[in-house]
Copies of this chain bind each other. A is one copy, B any other.
Amino acid sequence: MAPEGFDFQYTSSSTAHKGRRGTLTTPHGTLETPAFIFCATKASVKGLMPSQLRAVGTQIILSNTYHLYIQPGPEQVHGLGGLQKMTGWNGPMLTDSGGFQIFSLGHGSVAEEIKGRRMTNRPKSMLKITEEGAMFRSYKDGTKHLLTPEKSIQIQRHLGADMILVLDECTPFHVDKEYTRRSMHMSHRWAERSFVEFERTHHIPHAPQSLYGIIQGGVYPDLRREGADFVNNLPFFGHAVGGSLGADKSQMEDVVSLTMSLLAPERPVHLLGIGGIRDIFHGVRQGIDTFDCVHPTRLARHGGALIKPKFWEGQGKPKEHLNIRNQIFANDPKPLDPECGCETCQTFSRGYLHHLFKAKEMTGLTALTLHNVAFMNRLMADIRAALETDTLDQLEAEWVIS
């Protein structure tokens, strides 16, 4: 069910995979898909002005409901014209439900679990999950808040992103099947409440919005089937693949493949929080339309520049990025990536970028962020072109470390 101002169309040209080339229209512009969504957690892609985002081909950004609920608050964002106007981005945006931050602060994230960290030192922000919603403590002033499905929709209505998400429980990967089943059923009841609230509050935002349902079911095929049936039967505009994707990449690929085989094909599908180059190629082959991950921008702030395998330099096993802090770049007059058209690569040498990071200069963070955003946008543009010509395998050999 496409709300006013929304549309999704796609074509598939491969017999070997389910990858699709689409266009996703929103009231703030049309995305060419597959597309990557960059994180503007607190309503800003850290260090970049809107003109810089546009200059490197960015199509869409997302903000986090949890952070904006706490600062500056949904009414303030609404009063300043909604997210798209307030940020000066004026293009398509997505918000999450706010649940992910609350639950990952409570449960610990999958990544932290894999790495054996137990978060014993961090304040427990999530206090309680009940049928009603999730009780949590503000990181800002310690006050208690209850996030219900209705509340999440109300906040997202005020923030005004084009695509918004239902509240779900983000279960950690170590829970058993019974917990996953019970959690999924509660998330389904939350999704239904979200949908009712979404219908009730259509008068709030400055422009129409579309609602995405989230497929749960963890790593269990029968639960995924039930989760897919549930979202397919509610009139969501799009779907997001959520819940635990497993403990490792191979399990994640299995879960994504299975889930994608079950979803109504006419709706756009977003894969939550996945941004590795190899994972994107895999997801695209399963028919994923949009991806998001904090990785490209966060990596940049730590001196990591995304790079095609052929431009990688360093000791040991090649990586998807080079570390500009590495002393080997101190006198390197080459750009990060000679094929990249971003201002950083057109203007700065690796040697200068190395200096900026050594000297802790803010411009270094900006410059690498700009490059990594440009890199992801170029990757997605290449993927879209390869989908049209059915040459995804050749493209993957160029972008992914073999």
Q: How far is the CB of A70 from chain B (nearest CB, A)?
A: 9
Q: A355-B72, A365-B362 are in contact. Are A370 and B49 (CB under 8 A)?
A: yes
In-complex Cβ contact of A76 among B52, B79, B87, B351 (8 A): B351
Residue on B with the closest CB to A70? B359
Residues of B within 8 A of A76 (CB): 330-331, 351, 355
- Asked whether, in the complex, the Cβ of A80 is within 8 Å of the Cβ of B333, the reply is yes
- Measured CB to CB, the closest approach of chain B to A95, in angstroms, equals 16
Encode contact with B along A95-125: 1 for CB under 8 Å, 0 otherwise: 0000000000000000000000000000000
Bound CA span A333–B72, Å: 14
Which residues of chain B are near A42, meaning CB under 8 Å?
355-356, 359, 361
By a CB distance below 8 angstroms, the chain B residues around A45 are: 363
B71 in contact with A352 (CB, 8 Å): no
A165 to chain B, nearest CB (A): 22
User: Which B residues are CB-close (under 8 A) to A367?
Assistant: 49
Given contacts A333-B81, A347-B88, contact A363 B72 (CB under 8 A): no
The verdict on A43 contacting chain B, using a C-beta distance below 8 Å, is yes
* Chain B residues, Cβ within 8 Å of A48: 363, 366
Write out the residue numbers on chain B whose beta carbons fall within 8 Å of the beta carbon of A71.
355, 358-359
Give Cα A295 to B63, complex, Å. Answer: 33
Q: Which residues of A56-78 are within 8 A (CB) of B? A: 67, 71-72, 76
Q: With an 8 A cutoff between CB atoms, is A86 at the interface?
A: yes
Contact of A72 with B349 in the complex, beta carbons under 8 Å? no
Q: How far is the CB of A158 from chain B (nearest CB, A)?
A: 13
Tell whether A49 pairs with B80 under 8 Å between CB atoms, given A86-B349, A362-B362: no
| Copies, count | 2
Q: Looking at the assembled complex, report how far the CB atom of A327 sits from the nearest CB atom of chain B, in whole angstroms.
A: 11
Give A87 to B361 CA distance when docked, in angstroms: 12
Binary CB contact string for chain A from 328 to 363 against chain B (1 if under 8 A, 0 otherwise): 001101000000000110011101101110110111
> Taking the complex as formed, is A50 at the interface, i.e. its CB lies under 8 A from any CB of chain B?
yes
Inter-chain CA distance A343–B87, complex, in Å, is 12
Task: Check B72 against A361 for contact (C-beta < 8 Å).
Answer: no
Contact A79 B47, beta carbon cutoff 8 Å: no
Whole-angstrom distance between the alpha carbons of A365 and B331 in the complex? 29
Contacts of A356 in B (CB 8 A): 42-44
Cβ of B86 and Cβ of A351 under 8 Å apart? yes
Whole-angstrom distance between the Cβ of A63 and the nearest chain B Cβ: 11
Contacts of A44 in B (CB 8 A): 356, 359, 361-364
Assess whether A51 is interfacial by the CB under 8 Å rule.
yes
> Which B residues are CB-close (under 8 A) to A343?
49-51
The answer on a CB contact under 8 Å between B49 and A330 is: no
User: A80: nearest residue on chain B (CB-CB)?
Assistant: B351
Residue A46 is within 8 A (CB to CB) of chain B in the complex = yes
Please name the residue on chain B nearest to A358 by beta carbon. B71
Q: Is the CB of A49 within 8 A of B331?
A: no
Residue of B nearest to A75 (CB): B331
On chain B, the residues within 8 Å of A50 by CB distance are: 343, 347
Say yes or no: A43-B86 contact (C-beta < 8 A), given A49-B366, A76-B330, A80-B331. no
User: Do B86 and A352 touch (CB < 8 A)?
Assistant: yes
Residues of B within 8 A of A358 (CB): 71-72
Given contacts A43-B352, A44-B362, 8 further A-B contacts (CB under 8 A): A43-B356, A43-B359, A46-B362, A79-B331, A80-B352, A81-B349, A362-B362, A362-B366
Residues of A bordering B, CB below 8 Å: 42-52, 67, 71-72, 76, 79-81, 86-88, 330-331, 333, 343-344, 347-349, 351-352, 354-356, 358-359, 361-367, 370
Question: Mind listing 5 A-B residue pairs with CB under 8 Å?
Answer: A42-B355, A44-B363, A44-B364, A49-B347, A72-B358
Top 10 A-B pairs, shortest CB-CB distance: A88-B347, A44-B363, A47-B362, A72-B355, A42-B359, A44-B361, A80-B351, A46-B362, A86-B352, A71-B359
